[in-house]
Amino acid sequence: MLRRVIVVTIMVLIALIISVPVLGAAEKPLQGQVVVVCNWPMSILDPVHKIIKEFEDATGARVLLDLMGESAVRERLTMEFATKNPVHNVVLLDCWNSEELKDYFVPLNDFIAQKSKPVVNGLDDFNIQDFDPSYVNIMNVDGQQIGLPYYWEVAGLHYRKDLFEKYNVKVPTNIDELLEAAKKLTLDTNGDGIIDIYGIAMRSVRGEDSGLMCSGAAWSFGGTWFEGGAATAKEIREKKARPSVNSKQWIDAFTFYGNLLSNYGPPGVTSYSWPEVMRDMEEGKLAMDIDANYFVGPYNDPKISKVAGKVSLAVPPKGPGGRVNQHGFVCGLGIPKGAKDQEAAWEFIKWYTAKSTVARSIIPGMRLNPCHPALIESDEYKKAFGEIGDAMLATAAAADWEYMPRFPEISQPTFILVDAWSNVIAGIKTPEEALNEAQKEILKVMTEAGYYK
Amino acid sequence: MKITKHLFPKWHLKDKYLGVLYVLPAMFVLLGMTLYPFLYCINLSLQKWDLFQPNKRYYIGFTNYISLFIDPNFWNALKTTIIFTVVSVIVSFIIGLVLASLLAGKGRFVGAFRTIFVLPMIITPIVIGTGFKYLYDPTSGILNYVLSLIRITAPAWTTNPKTALLSVIMVDIWQWTPFMFLILIAGIQGLPKAPFEAAACDGASCWQILKNVTFPLMKPVVLIALLFRAIDSFRTFDTIYAITSGGPGMLTTTLNLFAYIKAFKMYRMGEAAAVAIIIWTIVFIFSQLLLKYLSTQKVVQGK
């Protein structure tokens, strides 16, 4: 009898132990759903990735992070869009071609309108009003909110304040001063006949990011992609605005930056994307760069930079057009059409981009660029980042998001301009040749797309 | 076959049908992975399909091909591909032949040398491309650093218009010369000894032996090696993508990379498919011509 009691007691205990997770899980709102994220890794996001378990524990959903290189993400997503068979249900959305890919993303308007489920810290305080509206609007196409932003950058001039002080060079505010500074600060510091520090670097690789660079450079000279500054598909169509990439402003911009980079840039600058620019600055090989303002954080991180504490950030110099050299970029997360577990995907995006989640990555991730103004204006941010934080705000205030148009066929013209930029920086073609060819090709693309009927 | 006859006496099949049955699964897989994608690609090349307009996909006949034939970038890519292929194949053949001749015999460390020479071939091309990208880097790469120690100011290999194509060709040669070496050394070691002994008895010089005995006997092997290398080189993508992304400008953009740019950068799927079909066509014609020449040679030799 006693043996029977013991056996039954043990069996009941085992049954309870097995059933508790099941019972507990049944209470979780997203139990059984899986969030599969396709994105590229960034150090600012590492603190958020470390706390994903909190989201999983609270919601019951499982999160799989599929992080890969920037180009690889876009290629992977191109395949998923082409086959209409998305493996991932939370994916990267770039601002610059959001119009192009809008038909592949689920509009989040209805999701945003729902009350958030109080499942975990961060979701309680989700409020679309917390975001900077300019970053949210960039992911809004024809009234459809197809993504939520988690990262933004604008152009900034990073400069080695120690070199500027040592050689008595003024921080450039216009292109003449920029040229002068680049010339003076291309240095052979040890007298061996080999240049150790180059005046300036910018991205010139054959990739989408160079498209932003060259557009921003032309913008500062007063150039626009289309006649009359038409910046949307509707405007281009209504005004029948032809491309204007071979205007004097574009040619002057390409001439200036072509000479600047080929004379005072590192030898391999035509193959430079942002990792190479960052690498050279962190190794102390550059006096200046014009690139994402957010890089000032890593540049001053003693764990990775040899010039930590020596790099400052300023608003990029103005061109003859009276405008600052631009390069604005926002990326966010969206849900592809046809993806599974969209509810879990939405809850994850909400949690990932919510103010309180982002706040937890500000200091550990050196996240200088949250998409929430309240975080940037907070005492914690100011205390952590001091003058760098002020410089970030200054560059953001000088940003002008009109520098690149937004229309569905943007990828091909961007790549045509990238080719032109690369040809000019490498000295293969003159700016006139390269941009006249680009003009013809872009006009052909726009004509085929029916803009001038 | 006899087993099935005993097991299923009423249903047993003739041997030849049973043989077909056994290879059917493998054939389905092979056809599914080769014939279906190929036919799909031909079909796609006749359509206009821009990825950013998912609901607008329609047939346009040969318009994609015509667009390519009037595009100077296409001809530039074709020219680059031909230069890349010809130089890479010829140089790797010469080096492979010399190495094969030197290492065909027996010797103390011959086996070790053969193993070492084969190593580049077994590394994934994208890894090699990434490695060489950093090796070639003008400010941080070890190549230019070593050259600077002996007071040579080396160019920016992959971004200087004069050296960019040469730098990717050199990587291809480095990686695939072992392949040539393997095929040629197998050919050399398979040659019959009698003609050489007869030539030596007749007092032929080394050059005469090489010209009149070795080369004619090696011809089929050489042609096979050249064919495989040429086909592979024509389709090179990974190393060039990793090292230069086709730049500077379009100086190292080969046809395969051109197709990639059309599909993944410009989202012009129909045109990308057309480029792929053109690549296939060129490779097919070339290989058919070579194989026909080989079979002619076999007839002449009485095989």
CA angle A440, B246, A197 (to 5 degrees): 105
Q: State whether the Cα torsion A315-A316-A318-A322 is positive or negative.
A: negative
User: Which range is most confident: A164-178, A291-305, A369-383?
Assistant: A164-178
**A375, A398, A421 - which closes a domain:** A398
Q: Is the pLDDT confidence value at B2 over 60? A: no
| B241-283 residue pLDDT tens | 999 989 888 899 999 999 999 998 888 999 999 999 999 999 9
The whole-number average pLDDT for the span B81-94 is 95
Put simply, the answer to whether B159 touches A280 (Cβ < 8 Å) is: no
Query: Which of 91-110 (A) contact B at CB < 8 A?
Result: 97, 100-101, 103-104
- Cα separation of A271 and A421, whole Å? 12
- Cα separation of B271 and B260, whole Å? 10
Structural domain count of chain A = 2
pLDDT band at B303 (very low <50, low <70, confident <90, very high): very low
Q: Which one has a higher pLDDT value, B289 or A122? A: B289
Residue B224: what pLDDT?
Answer: 85
Q: Which one has a higher pLDDT value, B66 or B152? A: B66
Instruction: Closest CB to B249: pick one of A75, A101, A422.
Output: A422
Pair (A176, A256) in one structural domain? yes
Residue A362 resides in a domain: yes
Helices (H), B34-189: 35-45, 63-69, 72-103, 110-118, 125-136, 142-149, 164-189
Residue A49 resides in a domain: yes
Residues on chain A touching B268 (C-beta within 8 angstroms): 412
Put simply, the answer to whether B158 touches A422 (Cβ < 8 Å) is: no
The whole-number average pLDDT for the span A4-20 is 77
- Cα separation of A442 and A222, whole Å? 19
How many angstroms away from the CA of B28 is the closest CA of chain A?
22
Query: Is the Cβ–Cβ distance between A241 and A235 less than 8 Å?
Result: yes
How many angstroms away from the CA of A335 is the closest CA of chain B?
16
Query: Is the Cβ–Cβ distance between B84 and B172 less than 8 Å?
Result: yes
Question: Does residue B168 belong to the interface with chain A, where contact is any CB pair within 8 Å?
Answer: no
Pair (A197, A312) in one structural domain? yes
Pair (A295, A393) in one structural domain? no
Pair (A380, A294) in one structural domain? no
- Alpha-carbon distances, residue B199 vs A100, B105, B194 (angstroms): 72, 19, 9
Question: Which of the 8 DSSP states describes residue B163?
Answer: T
Question: Which of the 8 DSSP states describes residue B291?
Answer: H
Residue B75: what pLDDT?
Answer: 96
Residue B140: what pLDDT?
Answer: 81
Q: Which one has a higher pLDDT value, A88 or A102? A: A88
Pair (A284, A358) in one structural domain? no
How is residue B21 written in tokens? Answer: 């049955």
Residues sharing a CB contact under 8 Å with residue A88, sequence separation 6 or more, in sequence order: A36, A37, A38, A66, A77, A80, A336, A339
Q: Where are the beta strands (DSSP E) in A16-133?
A: 34-39, 62-67, 90-94
Residue B290 is which amino acid?
Answer: L
- Cα separation of B256 and B273, whole Å? 11
% residues pLDDT > 70 (chain A): 95
Put simply, the answer to whether B52 touches A415 (Cβ < 8 Å) is: no
Pair (A200, A297) in one structural domain? yes
Shortest CA distance from B162: residue in chain A: A428
Residue B13: what pLDDT?
Answer: 55
Q: Is the pLDDT confidence value at B299 over 70? A: no
Question: Does residue B273 belong to the interface with chain A, where contact is any CB pair within 8 Å?
Answer: no
Q: Which residues of B70-106 are buried (b: 16+ CB within 10 A; e: fewer)?
A: eeebbeebbebbeebbebbbebbbebbbebbeebbee
Residue B85: what pLDDT?
Answer: 96
Question: Does residue B233 belong to the interface with chain A, where contact is any CB pair within 8 Å?
Answer: no
Which of B280, B293, B278, B281 lies closest to B71 in space, CA to CA?
Answer: B278
Shortest CA distance from A442: residue in chain B: B266
Put simply, the answer to whether A84 touches B264 (Cβ < 8 Å) is: no
Q: What is the mean pLDDT of chain A?
A: 90
Phi, psi values for residue B250, rounded to 5°: -125, 25
Shortest CA distance from B134: residue in chain A: A276
The whole-number average pLDDT for the span A383-406 is 89
- Alpha-carbon distances, residue B186 vs A198, A204, B117, B180 (angstroms): 52, 47, 15, 10
Query: Is the Cβ–Cβ distance between A70 and A40 less than 8 Å?
Result: yes
Pair (A36, A62) in one structural domain? yes
Residues sharing a CB contact under 8 Å with residue A416, sequence separation 6 or more, in sequence order: A438, A441, A442, A445
Put simply, the answer to whether A194 touches B148 (Cβ < 8 Å) is: yes
How is residue A299 written in tokens? Answer: 């540049």
Pair (A250, A118) in one structural domain? no
Question: Does residue A430 belong to the interface with chain B, where contact is any CB pair within 8 Å?
Answer: no
Residues sharing a CB contact under 8 Å with residue B205, sequence separation 6 or more, in sequence order: none
Q: Which one has a higher pLDDT value, B48 or A20? A: B48
Q: Is the pLDDT confidence value at A328 over 80? A: yes
Put simply, the answer to whether B159 touches A426 (Cβ < 8 Å) is: yes
Q: What residues does each domain of chain B span? A: 71-300
- Cα separation of B50 and B54, whole Å? 7
Residue B7 is which amino acid?
Answer: L
Instruction: Closest CB to B139: pick one of A75, A285, A409.
Output: A285
Query: Is the Cβ–Cβ distance between A299 and A236 less than 8 Å?
Result: no
Choose the weakest-confidence range: A256-270, B55-69, B197-211: B197-211
Pair (A124, A266) in one structural domain? no
Residues on chain B touching A104 (C-beta within 8 angstroms): 54
Which of A443, A385, A362, A375 lies closest to A47 in space, CA to CA?
Answer: A362
Pair (A174, A302) in one structural domain? yes
- Alpha-carbon distances, residue A216 vs A144, A220, A259, A325, A409 (angstroms): 27, 6, 17, 5, 19
Which of A100, A103, A178, A94 lies closest to A139 in space, CA to CA?
Answer: A94
Pair (A140, A174) in one structural domain? no
Question: Does residue A282 belong to the interface with chain B, where contact is any CB pair within 8 Å?
Answer: no
Mutate to test the interface with B, among A208, A210, A261, A270 (most CBs of B within 10 A): A270
Put simply, the answer to whether B140 touches A84 (Cβ < 8 Å) is: no
The whole-number average pLDDT for the span B226-254 is 91
Put simply, the answer to whether B148 touches A428 (Cβ < 8 Å) is: no
Residue appearing with tokens 């080396």: B154
How is residue B110 written in tokens? Answer: 């011959």
% residues pLDDT > 90 (chain B): 45
Residues on chain A touching B129 (C-beta within 8 angstroms): none
Residues on chain A touching B161 (C-beta within 8 angstroms): 426-428
Choose the weakest-confidence range: A122-126, A324-328, A372-376: A122-126
Residue A14 resides in a domain: no
Q: Is the pLDDT confidence value at A55 over 50? A: yes
Pair (A173, A279) in one structural domain? yes
Question: Does residue A209 belong to the interface with chain B, where contact is any CB pair within 8 Å?
Answer: no
Residue A152: what pLDDT?
Answer: 94
Put simply, the answer to whether B140 touches A100 (Cβ < 8 Å) is: no
Which of the four CATH numbers 1.10.3720.10, 3.30.465.10, 2.40.170.20, 3.40.640.10 does domain B71-300 have?
Answer: 1.10.3720.10
Query: Is the Cβ–Cβ distance between A182 and A293 less than 8 Å?
Result: no
In CATH, what number is assigned to the domain containing residue A372?
3.40.190.10
Domain that holds residue A411: 155-327+405-448
How is residue B41 written in tokens? Answer: 């690609």
Residue A3 resides in a domain: no
pLDDT band at A251 (very low <50, low <70, confident <90, very high): very high
Structural element, H or E, at residue A311 = strand A311-314
Put simply, the answer to whether A100 touches B265 (Cβ < 8 Å) is: no
Put simply, the answer to whether A428 touches B266 (Cβ < 8 Å) is: no
Which of B157, B116, B127, B124 lies closest to B140 in space, CA to CA?
Answer: B157
Put simply, the answer to whether A283 touches B266 (Cβ < 8 Å) is: no
Residue A287 is which amino acid?
Answer: A
For the CA atoms of B136, B137, B140, B143, the dihedral, rounded to the nearest 10 degrees, stands at 20
| B108-119 residue pLDDT tens | 777 788 788 888
The SS3 assignment for B162 reads coil
Instruction: Closest CB to B245: pick one of A207, A267, A411.
Output: A207
- Cα separation of A151 and B175, whole Å? 40
How is residue A253 written in tokens? Answer: 């911009």
Residues sharing a CB contact under 8 Å with residue A212, sequence separation 6 or more, in sequence order: A96, A327, A328, A329, A404
Question: Does residue A69 belong to the interface with chain B, where contact is any CB pair within 8 Å?
Answer: no
Query: Is the Cβ–Cβ distance between A60 and A25 less than 8 Å?
Result: yes
> Could you tell me if the ipTM is greater than 0.90?
no
Residues sharing a CB contact under 8 Å with residue A150, sequence separation 6 or more, in sequence order: A45, A331, A332, A333, A352, A353, A358, A371
Put simply, the answer to whether B155 touches A104 (Cβ < 8 Å) is: no
Question: Does residue B137 belong to the interface with chain A, where contact is any CB pair within 8 Å?
Answer: yes
